[in-house]
Amino acid sequence: MTRQDRIDTLKAAAKERILILDGSWGVMIQRRGLDEQDFRGERFKDHVGQMKGNNDILCLTRPDIITDLHNQYYAAGADISETNTFSATTIAMDDYHLDAQACWDINFEGAKLARACADAWTAQQPEKPRFVAGSIGPLNKMLSMSSDVNDPGARSVTFDQVYAAYKHQIRALNEGGVDLYLVETITDTLNCKAALKAIMDLEDEGLDKLPIWISGTITDRSGRTLSGQTAEAFWNSVKHAKPFAIGFNCALGADLMRPHIAELARVADTLVAAYPNAGLPNAMGQYDEQPHETAHELHEWAKDGLINILGGCCGTTPDHIKHVADEVRGIAPRVPPERPRALRLAGLEPFELN
């Protein structure tokens, strides 16, 4: 199956059923009890500084673990699995003193690992093809907020630097074989815009055009992203990219995320996606929400016609994903509304001119 065949199949599947994304990678990697040597491997055995905690580097040093996690999620019922590249930009990886070549290799090899797993599952179960989303996560530096509490105009990074870092990551993911881009856990919409510009510019330069899935993060009960936008304002800010899907992930459990997903379902004329945490963390930072509890909440979303793609974020496991997949099987996906043509703008709040 060619890449275009896979994209066409993905879009057709999204019209037929609610698609299932995988769950948390961090919690599953933590359960392995890996030590510093696992993260370093042979390639980074003499590398300066600590490497433990850099989950993305495992694409290079412990590919067996990454392959196993993809397989666990596909076995649980996931249609889509993310590459293990959430923080694999030159900006984020500077914390680990990794250069551009190492970042390229993480993204390229991470995509290849996921691609091999997806193709193997599709060959075994052609009636349920599997897909790969290239994970493009947030940065540890923001364009919309000051890096110095005493200087509102201070920034530790420029737009051009963020754009270049994302462009480098996106090209490697594309060449590694992903089916779509997942720009995720967005706290800063301007960072997201840099990633979207990188994608569109690479397409203009001849790189294969892939569907774009944009997933923001509502950081607390205020109902806003960290850079201050409401759900509708966030949508108005990014809809120019004509995404395959728009949604939210992380920060909240399904019960607290629902009103924000409902708002997107009302205004977005594309697919709506969500992958909430397994509830809120307890006092020890652990997630107590059980698979059947998460699945029950998401079943209600599906029944009420709010959603097209579901998965899990922090604290969710293959068991959570299996329960979600079982709970929404047979429920029709949301039908995107046809909205009248209008000029829709956004700052922190949405603004519309008919």
Q: Looking at this protein, which amino acid is placed at residue 184?
A: E
Tokens of 56: 């993305």
Q: Which residues contact 313 (CB under 8 A, 6 or more apart)?
A: 23, 24, 185, 249, 250, 275, 276, 277
Tokens of 131: 């897909």
Tokens of 67: 């392959």
State the Cα–Cα distance between residues 210 and 32, nearest whole angstrom. 33
State the Cα–Cα distance between residues 311 and 38, nearest whole angstrom. 28
Q: Is 192 annotated as a binding residue?
A: no
User: Parallel, antiparallel, or unpaired for β 180-186 and 212-216?
Assistant: parallel
3-state helix, strand, coil in the chain (%, to 5): 45, 15, 40
E strands, the chain, where? 19-20, 80-82, 131-136, 180-186, 212-216, 245-253, 271-277, 309-310, 343-346, 350-353
Q: Is 103 annotated as a binding residue?
A: no
Q: Which residues of 208-238 are buried (b: 16+ CB within 10 A; e: fewer)?
A: eebbbbbbbbbbeeeebbbbbbbbbbbbbbb
- Give backbone dihedrals phi and psi of 245, rounded to 5 degrees, phi first: -150, 150
Is residue 224 a contact partner of residue 230, using CB atoms and an 8 Å limit?
yes
Q: Which residues of 262-294 are buried (b: 16+ CB within 10 A; e: fewer)?
A: bbbbebbebbbbbbbbbbeeeeeeebebebebb
- Give backbone dihedrals phi and psi of 205, rounded to 5 degrees, phi first: -85, 0
State the Cα–Cα distance between residues 69 and 60, nearest whole angstrom. 15
Question: Which 3 state secondary structure label does DSSP give 107?
Answer: helix
Q: Is 314 annotated as a binding residue?
A: yes
Residues tagged in the binding site annotation: 250, 313-314
Residues tagged in the binding site annotation for Zn(2+): 250, 313-314
